[in-house]
Amino acid sequence: MDRALIAVDKLNAWYQSQDRDSVQSYIKADGDLNKGNVARDAGFGRKALTDSVNGNPRLQARYEEIVSEMQEKKWLLVEFNDTTSREHINDIASEAIQKELEKTRRHIAELESKLAKANAKIAQIELQFSQLSEMREVMIELGFPTR
């Protein structure tokens, strides 16, 4: 609930600070929150945020999508105040840690795969080298020049 109120305040402040030219340049620049629907979502986002505070479940998913996209783009930083519970802060931190842990695990698996391929290539080259050494010894025994 506090998170939604903070988002409403931030979005309202941003919306009120814009004039027509800045909104148009925002839409033309890297402001495409919703694949070309920025103009529609500028008003809809405010309504979705307000309705989510008022308990309208129909718009809750849309609100979550807008807020998460804004957070990813660093347009919205969730602020914690005195009413935010420690458990909620810990949950958010735990989620972030889990995501980083999963990303690190995938990276480690990728590196292990590359290492296994490199080791297989090294083994193949060593085998070829030993075969060449044996062929050289045979050629020397038969009296052929090796250089």
pLDDT in tens, 87-125: 666 777 788 888 889 999 999 999 999 999 999 999 999
Concatenated DSSP letters of 121-142: HHHHHHHHHHHHHHHHHHHHHH
pLDDT value, residue 122: 94
| Top-ranked range on mean pLDDT: pick from 46-55, 63-72, 130-139 | 130-139
Looking at residue 116, its pLDDT comes to 93
pLDDT at 77: 54
Contact 78, 3 (CB under 8 A): yes
Find out whether 101 and 94 touch, Cβ atoms under 8 Å.
no
Same domain, 75 and 118: no
Same domain membership, residue 115 and residue 67: no
Domain boundary among 84, 108, 126: 84
Do both 76 and 99 map to the same domain?
Answer: no
Residue 111: the pLDDT is 93
Q: Does residue 124 share a domain with residue 73? A: no
Find out whether 73 and 46 touch, Cβ atoms under 8 Å: no
| Domain boundaries, position 115 | 85-147
Question: In terms of domains, do 78 and 9 share one?
Answer: yes
